């Protein structure tokens, strides 16, 4: 049995390149229409063409999200959009709306359709209905257990694939279909504009005492009642594969290349069994995240919506290598503050545990600096490590020794 596909998100070309470099088998992106994320994460058709050619040259696939719920006015434009995406070499579109599925398959029958998790497909009868409409893959509802997935898999055709989220943010609403942001801010999460009010703190007010705010306490220091944990399934990928999952999906089209690189690298190594789980857990703690849990895979959530609503991380993104290190010099673009004497850790798809000390920092004017404090400035560092172009540099925010012998 072949390994499940590792499917990574990308909100821009830097993220797509990072996903490819760190081991994704396929990448999903948004395009100009119905892509269910903020406009800044949308690829133009020219960029889609570039992305498809890059991934196809590596034997990898490109999927485009067309997963907003579709309005009457969007049906006709969707026909020409489907034909355009197919001509650009897109391998499949990810769709949630029934009318959009029908429209796409009629307009461009050769364009594969994957059913989005937004469609809440959580039973084999629904999966079969989508299959009869021409779908080739179901992105299952996040509320399914492993046992339910296995049952679904046993009752669908062999050529209907199943895809499941294995890492990233979860929503407090069923399969992400939430209206709180629309109600409170006039910005719909179902149209890619969610303001995440579920992460906020709330107070109880009695009608006749409008100035008395009673905190809804879960814990002594926070009360984000609606804030969900992040999903992390890296410890039980084998169980998901045995249940019939063909593609492991990472959430995060709004995330940075730092996030994408870390998560793809960790899951690639987990799938390939090329690193111990303890070390991979440490890698996933390096990125910004809410407390982790296993989602619904083992039954109903336990403390799945109880955390402080804040992000936590063990490391900060220091920069990215622009070229291979040569003659002890490394050219980088800075992302966050670091200073002389800091230990710079290197995230590379080739090795773990590489690091060096920032002993000399030189800016574009040739001036030596005490620190890297200007956003996205180009710098040259003295470097004793074998850093390669595209490697990610980070600085640990807490004293923590990483021990590895791989």
Report pLDDT digits (tens) over 326-368.
999 999 999 999 999 999 999 999 898 999 999 999 999 999 9
Q: Which residues contact 59 (CB under 8 A, 6 or more apart)?
A: none
Q: Would you tell me the crossing angle of helices 277-285 and 257-272 to the nearest 10 degrees? A: 170
- Average the pLDDT over 378-403 and give the result: 86
Query: According to CATH, where is 2.40.30.10 located in the chain?
Result: 315-396
pLDDT tens digits for range 26-60: 999 999 999 877 667 799 999 999 999 999 999 99
Name 25's bridge partners.
none
pLDDT at 218: 53
- Band (pLDDT 50/70/90 cuts) for residue 224 is low
Query: According to CATH, where is 3.20.20.60 located in the chain?
Result: 5-173+227-293
The CATH architecture of the domain made up of 5-173+227-293 is: Alpha-Beta Barrel (3.20)
CA–CA distance from 169 to each of 175, 192, 230, 294, 402 (Å)?
12, 15, 5, 12, 26
pLDDT at 277: 96
- Average the pLDDT over 170-175 and give the result: 71
Could you tell me which CATH number the domain at 315-396 has?
2.40.30.10
Going by C-alpha positions, the residue among 48, 118, 138 that lies closest to residue 86 is 48
pLDDT at 308: 62
Of the listed ranges 45-49, 156-160, 216-220, 230-234, the one predicted with least confidence: 216-220
Q: How many CA atoms lie within 13 A of 264 on its CB side?
A: 33
What's the rounded Cα separation, in Å, for the pair 111 and 92? 6
Taking 80 as the threshold, does the pLDDT of residue 200 lie above it?
Answer: no
What's the rounded Cα separation, in Å, for the pair 394 and 391? 10
- Average the pLDDT over 304-316 and give the result: 74
């Amino acid at each position: 049995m072949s390994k499940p596909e590792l499917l990574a998100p990308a909100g821009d070309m830097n993220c797509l390149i990072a996903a490819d470099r760190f081991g994704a088998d396929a990448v999903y992106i948004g395009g100009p229409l119905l892509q269910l994320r903020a406009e800044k994460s949308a690829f133009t058709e020219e960029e889609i063409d570039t992305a498809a050619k890059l991934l196809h040259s590596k034997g990898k696939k490109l999927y485009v999200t067309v997963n907003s719920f579709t309005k009457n006015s969007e049906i006709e434009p969707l026909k020409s959009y489907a034909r355009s995406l197919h001509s650009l070499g897109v391998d499949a579109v990810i769709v949630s709306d029934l009318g959009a599925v029908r429209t796409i398959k009629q307009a461009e029958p050769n364009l594969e359709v994957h059913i989005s998790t937004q469609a809440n497909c959580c039973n084999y009868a629904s999966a079969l209905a989508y299959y009869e409409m021409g779908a080739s893959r179901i992105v299952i509802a996040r509320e399914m257990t492993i046992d339910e997935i296995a049952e679904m898999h046993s009752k669908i055709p062999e050529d209907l694939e199943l895809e499941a989220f294995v890492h990233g943010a979860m929503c407090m609403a069923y399969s992400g279909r939430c209206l709180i942001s629309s109600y409170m801010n006039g910005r719909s999460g179902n149209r890619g504009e969610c303001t995440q009010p579920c992460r906020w703190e709330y107070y109880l007010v009695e009608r006749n005492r409008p100035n008395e705010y009673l905190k809804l306490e879960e814990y002594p220091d926070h009360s984000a009642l609606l804030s969900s944990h992040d999903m992390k399934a890296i410890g039980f990928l084998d169980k998901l594969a045995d249940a019939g999952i063909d593609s492991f999906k990472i959430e995060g089209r709004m995330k940075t290349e730092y996030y994408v690189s870390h998560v793809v690298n960790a899951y690639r190594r987990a799938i390939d069994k090329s690193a111990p789980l303890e070390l991979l857990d440490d890698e996933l703690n390096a990125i910004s995240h809410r407390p982790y849990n296993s989602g619904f895979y083992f039954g109903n959530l336990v403390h799945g919506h109880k955390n402080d609503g804040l992000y936590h991380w063990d490391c900060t993104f220091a920069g990215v290598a622009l070229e291979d290190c040569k003659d002890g010099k490394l050219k980088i673009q800075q992302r966050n503050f670091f200073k002389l004497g800091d230990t710079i850790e290197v995230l590379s798809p080739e090795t773990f545990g590489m690091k060096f000390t920032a002993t000399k920092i030189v800016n574009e004017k040739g001036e030596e600096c005490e620190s890297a404090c200007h956003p996205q400035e180009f710098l040259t560092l003295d470097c004793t490590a074998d850093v390669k172009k595209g490697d990610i540099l980070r600085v640990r925010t807490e004293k923590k020794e990483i021990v590895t012998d791989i």
